[in-house]
């Protein structure tokens, strides 16, 4: 039996449609430091072909497109049309529209052929999915990554924080508002189960107390 509290795809899409109007401000204020650190650790290079899954309001896409440069390309898949509209506007504003291709789609069935990407970035998405869907999504990521391709997973850190007041409060929110919160996972365990090799992991504390984890794996 699944102990984590997650929502149906319909409810997730409905929640992120509503959240899309406020999520941008929150995302930038809350996650700027985390984003910069994760991109340093992930070592995205000029010329890379990168996929971001569940890109939300598109801040990461902008940074990824800047780094991948003219010779690279950034692709994005998100379930929610409003997030796609907001991200497109953000890319346009930064004159990066030609370096990014965004698609409405489901991470469980990625609309890409095999062995296409050097890197896949997935931030605050795996932890909103059920156990079964996490496994499916990781298999899809493996399928679309080139041999030796890399994955960067960002999530609320669970391991080592299970008994903290912070985690108790977070799980309380998750229990009562499952569509608007996430159910933290230990991403490393899922990556290993799906046969990724872990190459880097780091905790980044937001505002000194909110522990987020960056885990980087390789096929
Ligand atoms: C919590 S937000 C994360 C946004 C951004 N990545 C960040 O780190 O702030 C989750 C995003 O994933 C998208 N999403 C949720 N389930 C998805 C799925 N199965 N396939 C594709 N996108 C999904 C939602 O629409 C939303 O934009």
**pLDDT tens string 106-144:** 999 999 999 999 999 999 999 999 999 999 999 999 999
At 187 the pLDDT is: 95
> Pick from 73, 76, 77: which is nearest to 49 by CA?
73
Position with higher pLDDT, 138 vs 158: 138
- Centroid of chain to Cα 1: 25
Residue 204's pLDDT is 95
Instruction: Tell the residue nearest (CA) to atom 12 of ligand 1.
Output: 54
Which domains, from first to last, does the chain contain? 9-218 (3.40.50.150)
Kindly give the distance from the C-alpha atom of residue 160 to the centroid of ligand 1, in angstroms, as a whole number: 25
pLDDT for 76: 98
Q: Quick one: pLDDT at residue 181?
A: 84
**For every residue of 129-189, which 3-state class applies, written as one string?**
CCHHHHHHHHHHHHHHEEEEEEEEEEEECCCCCCCCHHHHHHHHHHHHCCCCCCCCCCHHH
CA distance 186 to 46: 31
Supply the residue whose CA is at minimum distance from atom 27 of ligand 1.
56
Sign of torsion over alpha carbons 74, 80, 81, 82? negative
pTM of the prediction? 0.94
For a ligand 1 pocket test, name from 10, 42, 59, 79 the mutation site with the most ligand atoms within 8 angstroms of its C-beta. Answer: 79
């Amino acid at each position: 039996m699944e102990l984590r509290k997650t929502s149906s795809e319909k409810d997730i899409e409905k929640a992120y449609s509503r959240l899309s109007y406020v999520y941008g401000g929150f995302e930038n204020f809350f996650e700027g430091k985390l984003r910069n650190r994760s991109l340093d650790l992930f070592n995205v290079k000029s010329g890379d072909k990168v996929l971001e899954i569940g890109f939300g309001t598109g801040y990461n896409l902008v940074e990824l497109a800047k780094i991948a440069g003219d010779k690279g390309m950034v692709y994005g898949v998100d379930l929610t049309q409003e997030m796609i509209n907001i991200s497109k506007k953000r890319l346009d504003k930064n004159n990066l529209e030609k370096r990014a291709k965004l698609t409405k789609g489901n991470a469980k069935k990625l609309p890409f052929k095999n062995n296409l990407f050097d890197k896949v970035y997935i931030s605050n998405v795996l932890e909103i999915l059920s156990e079964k869907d996490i496994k499916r999504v990781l298999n899809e990521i493996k399928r679309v990554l080139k041999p030796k391709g890399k994955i960067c997973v960002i999530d609320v850190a669970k391991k080592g924080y299970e008994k903290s007041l912070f985690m108790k409060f977070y799980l309380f929110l998750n229990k009562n508002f499952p569509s608007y919160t996430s159910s933290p996972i230990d991403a490393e365990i899922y990556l290993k189960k799906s046969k990724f090799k872990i190459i880097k992991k780091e905790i980044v504390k937001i505002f000194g107390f909110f522990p987020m984890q960056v885990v980087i794996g390789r096929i």
